[in-house]
Chains A and B, each alone.
Chain A
């Protein structure tokens, strides 16, 4: 219980700090006044522009943390991560198509749908390659993931070069690829919140089966799990989560890797506590990373994906080193 209160408290503090942070800093007092309904221009900017962005960052982080925990559970591999396994790369290809190809559907609908199709397709492809190669283990999955991610990256670059013209600038796609939270309307926030809660609820339904998968294929089967079906369902759910995160936040690397690890230190490896804890940790991490992205080099904004990669890269190297040693 203390851990949960601590996590929620940290998230609230992170949101408060991030709401104050920016090219021009607000004081906690300013924030308080704005929350109480102060009608001044500065307060309204805080409420209508900065706070939605901060909350969106927290929700994208929660989705990434949750998605990472599901992927690690499915692949039974602490190095599994949406970005390493190609699903984010697939989502990016889908999103690039949505941004650049003039299709007769509204982009707000097209982007999440194509991102989902891309994420799911890429993950199944990686899983399939590893299965065919007979190596559904850490090394096999990472190699297949790296290969698929590279191909998808090249495909995305090609699409960007081939399809962009004066009407859709490369800049839009590029800034999106590097990761950055879109500032949504409060309407969009509600949609994002509903998505995050639905994803969490859905994933909690198969939390127990993820636990059993962690016992290995044989014991999971012996304990009554239809492993193929669970893996397929969980990959589907994980892809939907990654697609939602990608649709609202672009490509934000390493959060899905780091958040479940931190959460595992706090609440242990069982998925019922791990899934919500990973979401909370992810929310805290991305909220703070987004604040750094906005406030570090004013008036410019650093792409969020760069901030998380700079912080997350060394974390990944550390994990890899520790794993190789054992």
Chain B
């Protein structure tokens, strides 16, 4: 039984085919990294999976139900979506943003808000406004606001790309760790992080899935070099493999 599946998904925008007949089946738990070169359709695929943009044709199912048949509130509770960039139009406070995230459900778990503040180290920041937060704090606030209703599926479009390495690692680890008992699908730009922290890797190119395999297998796959157009050197670092690009 898959939690989230895409069936012959096609997304066309302005005459260009961005997603070309993609089918995917994602289990109720697991961490999945989506990789691919620029323009491969990663963001487009995630936005369709998250129910943000409707596909041109094909179906997305959550728990066996067509995503179109879920009303907005149901979908928002089932699927948490982290965008690539986020800039609120009003200078909201941390507490207000969490309140908006929590408003997706009428039955918020007691202490869910407090738990989020603890988990994401936001205690004491409640009254700070968005414009005064650092990049790392912003990422934590957004994660907390999305995860406060504990959605079974999390879809994240590499929200950490603009962060420094420590915060980036922190966010990627949090997203991957969610795959232990939930489904976590993340676009990851740093291939090392994708192969190191995620169980399964889906590789896209030109709107198609070119490989879909466990991370420890795909890292040795020659299609990786072909898709990214470089020659990777696989190096053993400790007990795991890492990628190095010959320049």
| Interface band, chain B | 20 to 34
- Contacting pair B100 A211 (CB below 8 A): yes
- Contacting pair A76 B83 (CB below 8 A): no
How many Å lie between the Cα of A225 and that of B73 in the bound state?
A: 8
A216 at the interface (CB under 8 A from B): yes
B103 at the interface (CB under 8 A from A): yes
- Contacting pair A215 B76 (CB below 8 A): no
User: Which of A214, A222, A224, A268 sits near B83, CB closer than 8 Å?
Assistant: A222
Residues in A with CB closer than 8 Å to B83 are: 216, 218-219, 222
A131 at the interface (CB under 8 A from B): no
Residues in A with CB closer than 8 Å to B73 are: 224
B68 at the interface (CB under 8 A from A): no
A38 at the interface (CB under 8 A from B): no
How many Å lie between the Cα of A211 and that of B97 in the bound state?
A: 10
A143 at the interface (CB under 8 A from B): no
How many Å lie between the Cα of A269 and that of B90 in the bound state?
A: 6
How many Å lie between the Cα of A90 and that of B52 in the bound state?
A: 34
B75 at the interface (CB under 8 A from A): yes
User: Which of B74, B77, B89, B146 sits near A216, CB closer than 8 Å?
Assistant: B89
Number of A-B contacts (CB under 8 A): 67
Q: Which residue of A lies closest to B99 (CB)?
A: A270
How many Å lie between the Cα of A223 and that of B145 in the bound state?
A: 10
- Contacting pair A214 B88 (CB below 8 A): yes
Residues in B with CB closer than 8 Å to A219 are: 81, 83, 86, 88
B72 at the interface (CB under 8 A from A): yes
Interface centre among A77, A222, A268 (most CB of B within 10 A): A222
How many Å lie between the Cα of A226 and that of B83 in the bound state?
A: 17
Residues in A with CB closer than 8 Å to B77 are: 224
B221 at the interface (CB under 8 A from A): no
- Contacting pair A221 B51 (CB below 8 A): yes
- Contacting pair B86 A224 (CB below 8 A): no
How many Å lie between the Cα of A34 and that of B87 in the bound state?
A: 55
- Contacting pair A218 B92 (CB below 8 A): no
A208 at the interface (CB under 8 A from B): yes
How many Å lie between the Cα of A216 and that of B90 in the bound state?
A: 10
- Contacting pair B92 A269 (CB below 8 A): yes
- Contacting pair A268 B52 (CB below 8 A): no
B126 at the interface (CB under 8 A from A): no
User: Which of B93, B96, B100 sits near A223, CB closer than 8 Å?
Assistant: B100
- Contacting pair B81 A222 (CB below 8 A): yes
A212 at the interface (CB under 8 A from B): yes
Residues in A with CB closer than 8 Å to B104 are: 223-224
196-255 of chain A: CB within 8 A of chain B: 208, 211-212, 214-216, 218-219, 221-226
B101 at the interface (CB under 8 A from A): yes
User: Which of A77, A216, A270 sits near B96, CB closer than 8 Å?
Assistant: A270
B179 at the interface (CB under 8 A from A): no
Residues in B with CB closer than 8 Å to A270 are: 92, 96, 99
Residues in A with CB closer than 8 Å to B52 are: 218, 221-222
Residues in A with CB closer than 8 Å to B87 are: 216
Residues in B with CB closer than 8 Å to A76 are: 89-90
B225 at the interface (CB under 8 A from A): no
B91 at the interface (CB under 8 A from A): yes
How many Å lie between the Cα of A93 and that of B71 in the bound state?
A: 40
How many Å lie between the Cα of A219 and that of B157 in the bound state?
A: 12
Closest chain-A Cβ to B87's Cβ sits at a distance in Å of 7
Q: Which residues of A contact B (CB under 8 A)?
A: 76-77, 208, 211-212, 214-216, 218-219, 221-226, 264, 268-270
Given contacts A222-B51, A223-B103, A268-B93, 6 further A-B contacts (CB under 8 A): A214-B92, A215-B100, A216-B87, A216-B88, A222-B52, A222-B76
What would 6 A/B residue contacts be, using CB atoms closer than 8 Å?
Answer: A214-B92, A218-B47, A219-B88, A269-B90, A270-B96, A270-B99
Q: When A and B form their complex, which 5 residue pairs have the shortest distance between CB atoms, in order from nearest?
A: A224-B76, A224-B72, A269-B90, A222-B81, A76-B89
Q: Which residues of B contact A (CB under 8 A)?
A: 47, 50-52, 71-77, 79-81, 83, 86-93, 96, 99-101, 103-104, 146
